[in-house]
Structure 1
Amino acid sequence: MMFLVRMDVRIPHDLPATDVDAIKLREKNYSQDLQRSGKWQAIYRVVGEYANYSLFDVESNDELHTLLSGLPLFPYMEIHVTPLAQHPSSIR
């Protein structure tokens, strides 16, 4: 199942910088592991925002929820999920 996911990150300004740096490092490692596994197919930065669009290929809604809620930045994110289906005009 393919999903387009927009993630907007809103880290509280009063969170200590050392905590933020540690969370971001864990986030990078976690997301890169998911990319290597093929579950997280692509990630694109939204220009001028602390946000991204990502493409996930997972087995179920529940798997996507588990992966997203496992993100270290999850508590500081607003996430919008769009399920995708094959377009009948696609040549792929």
Structure 2
Amino acid sequence: MLFHVRMDVNIPHDLPAAEAAEIIARERAYSQELQRSGKWRHIWRIAGQYANYSVFEVKDNAELHEILSGLPLFRFMDIEATPLLRHPSAVRDDDS
């Protein structure tokens, strides 16, 4: 299943800088591992915001939830996920 996911990050201003940096480093490693595995297919930063739009390809809702809740920044995020399916007018065969 494909999902379009918007993630808005809201790190508290009073979080110690060293702690924030450590969490961000873990987030980067985790997200890059998921990208290499093919589960996190696309990620785009939203200009001017600490937010992104991403596309995930996972088995089901439960797997997406497991991945998202495993994000080190999860407790600081507002997340909106939308399931996607192929449009009948799509011309590319490689986007399932």
TM-score, scaled relative to structure 1 = 0.99
Match of 1:70 in 2: 70
How far off its partner does 1:18 sit? 0.1
Following TM superposition, the consecutive aligned residue runs of length 4 or more in structure 1 with deviations greater than 4 angstroms are none
Distance, in Å, in 2 between the alignment partners of 1:80 and 1:59 is: 18
Structure 1: which 5+ runs fail to align?
none
Matched, 1:39 2:39: yes
How far off its partner does 1:91 sit? 1.1
Structure 2: which 5+ runs fail to align?
none
Matched, 1:23 2:51: no
Secondary structure of the residue aligned to 1:28 is: helix
What root-mean-square deviation, in Å, do the aligned CA atoms of Structure 1 and Structure 2 show?
0.3
Match of 1:57 in 2: 57
Distance, in Å, in 1 between the alignment partners of 2:25 and 2:11 is: 14
Identity %: 62
How far off its partner does 1:63 sit? 0.1
Match of 2:86 in 1: 86
